[in-house]
Structure 1
């Protein structure tokens, strides 16, 4: 899509910090960057997440660090408990001459509990010249989606379109799978809250399974799947929290004019998604992919559909039971896995601030007739036996696709 809107310049900062044994450069100029340097004290670098225009304090952070010397540093967040049970997510730059030369990176992984000091700090031993990125959990940027789309660009069943252009000048993608003349439709969405990145790996896994598995062919013969991977693409690329953005965030923006008031969405992307959804003749099913609170508590470490358990529809209960069956059928695998428990209060659970009256993607799809229309929360970290990694999240998405194939008949 051609546009005369210039893409907003890269945000973020870069700081050269003098430590006891050398210099470390901390940057947030990369896509998704977030973190403010508070001070340097010997071997300690103190940071905090940037809250920006969110109306509540939130926890997402993602920084780039490069050391000019062999040195072990402590990365501290004195005012925030934002270092999870497995430490931060980490990846390191590959040497020049890698697959794409300078700037190539290895895969994201957990740094490990042995590097974690407590919920506010971790330590890392840098080699001279080493460049490392650290984050709360596993980031997923537009470049990650583009790499996925590139793998399947020759598949005739996949259509990649530009839905609209953001206020920042970014082209918003929409993925469509299945026959263009289908009379039944499935809607999938993610990143209405910019920081909720592990959900994107699950959505990608769903799309991979739909494209690769023969078992998915019946679904794609009868339904057209519409996937909106970035509900807040500007926020994703800037590294915003996105959650509780003022005056309201993207998942509170699905409003319509009615007899009482004249309302319209604040954001170009939500407006375009709503228009696109209204154009579908029959919306059979819809899922919005999210992440919950950072970790801990009763429900934040396992995947769950957001619903009051006693109020869950038969269709949602059926989907949940099928998803449990699919994930547990391979729970004996030796590789790490992410399973689902459909029990009330575990896989079907509610939480504070979630209301059926909010102007969410889920509610909007429900009003258009989707059943089930649901929000799926994907944890940032997971449990000791069900860890979240890019691999397990994609695998979970594949399992969800299998369950959806049995649901959308």
Structure 2
């Protein structure tokens, strides 16, 4: 009835009593607690099904994301904000219905492949391979450029495997750069955009938490010699393409607190880099959209909340590594929440639009003003 044997699958069934199901996440090689899960259910009876996790903070602010088409599209189970972080109910209309449930709107290799197919005839898109993962999977690297651009940018996401909303936003940046608009053409003529959507490819496809993977996770693997093929290859890529801007996209904790339901950038504690963060943040706030509003005031300076030296004791991040290189002008992390930006509920479409706003700010930061036509209009 319930299985984790799907791409990105992660669930432990503790008990089933009629239409009441008790669940837990699979931590696997993650130290401590975390919250990622995704499963397929074939529900044998119509009626209300009650799902309850054995621990809090496993269900987001709008319940789980639900897919009825095998993961091609997702919606939040609850349109309204919910305080319950452990339970959800699903009304099954007919016996035998197959449903995917996930703590966020899943984004896997199949989704990125669909995006690549959509743009495969675009001569500005160059799809390649960064490396092979430990399990032999292809780790995608895409470059978007037209001619010989004078600027270079590197985008990464999924250093923590379960942070899927960041990859929706990354796709939005890529779509903007590929669009058949004045804005898109201007972007790719002046900026070579390089992107690695799955920095922990095995973790994404296997459904690992990724965060706090022992002995350290991919996001803390930018010191020599490096444990993971992806991070070693990314260090090499940075040396080859010499990006001016490195932007690593993440998602925060599942819900609650001051920093988990807003989007923000994370200070480095490096005076020069933090000054560049402020400049980019000003532009991103100017490009603010109602569907996913960013406010500079939500940024997290170094030395506050979780952003302390202790948090990085386990290893070096890509941002901190890039900040040591003389050709990198700006290296930043942006956190993108799972289900809501403050009072605004977000979904895949909102994330694509947010990615567009990031792309516009990137261009203005590197090159100046850009035409106002929306790539997604």
- CA distance in structure 2 between the partners assigned to 1:77 and 1:318 by the alignment: 43
2:274 maps to which of 309, 313, 330: 313
Q: Which has the larger radius of gyration?
A: 1
Contact preservation (8 Å) 2:29, 2:214: yes
Q: Match for residue 354 of structure 2?
A: 396
> Alpha-carbon deviation of 1:372?
1.6
Matched, 1:153 2:120: yes
Q: Please list every run of 5 or more consecutive structure 1 residues that lacks an aligned counterpart in the other structure.
A: 1-24, 94-103, 257-263, 332-336
Q: TM-score by structure 1 length? A: 0.83
- CA distance in structure 2 between the partners assigned to 1:117 and 1:151 by the alignment: 39
Q: Match for residue 86 of structure 2?
A: 120
Matched, 1:363 2:320: yes
Matched, 1:374 2:332: yes
3-state SS, counterpart of residue 286 of structure 1: strand
- CA distance in structure 2 between the partners assigned to 1:391 and 1:292 by the alignment: 19
Contact preservation (8 Å) 2:263, 2:337: yes
Contact preservation (8 Å) 1:115, 1:124: no
Matched, 1:229 2:229: no
Q: 1:386 to 1:239 in 2, by over 3 A?
A: same
> Alpha-carbon deviation of 1:310?
9.9
Contact preservation (8 Å) 1:87, 1:122: yes
Q: Match for residue 178 of structure 1?
A: 145
- CA distance in structure 2 between the partners assigned to 1:184 and 1:235 by the alignment: 32
- CA distance in structure 1 between the partners assigned to 2:285 and 2:269 by the alignment: 16
Instruction: Count residues with an aligned counterpart.
Output: 358
Contact preservation (8 Å) 2:301, 2:307: no
Q: Please list every run of 5 or more consecutive structure 2 residues that lacks an aligned counterpart in the other structure.
A: 368-377
- CA distance in structure 2 between the partners assigned to 1:363 and 1:105 by the alignment: 35
Contact preservation (8 Å) 1:48, 1:80: no
After superposition, give the CA deviation of every residue in 1:3-24 in whole Å (9 maximum; x if it has no partner): xxxxxxxxxxxxxxxxxxxxxx
Contact preservation (8 Å) 1:292, 1:300: yes
3-state SS, counterpart of residue 84 of structure 1: coil
Q: 1:115 to 1:365 in 2, by over 3 A?
A: closer
Instruction: Indicate the RMSD between aligned Cα atoms, in angstroms.
Output: 2.1
- CA distance in structure 1 between the partners assigned to 2:203 and 2:75 by the alignment: 23
Q: 1:166 to 1:310 in 2, by over 3 A?
A: closer
3-state SS, counterpart of residue 283 of structure 1: coil
Contact preservation (8 Å) 1:158, 1:177: yes
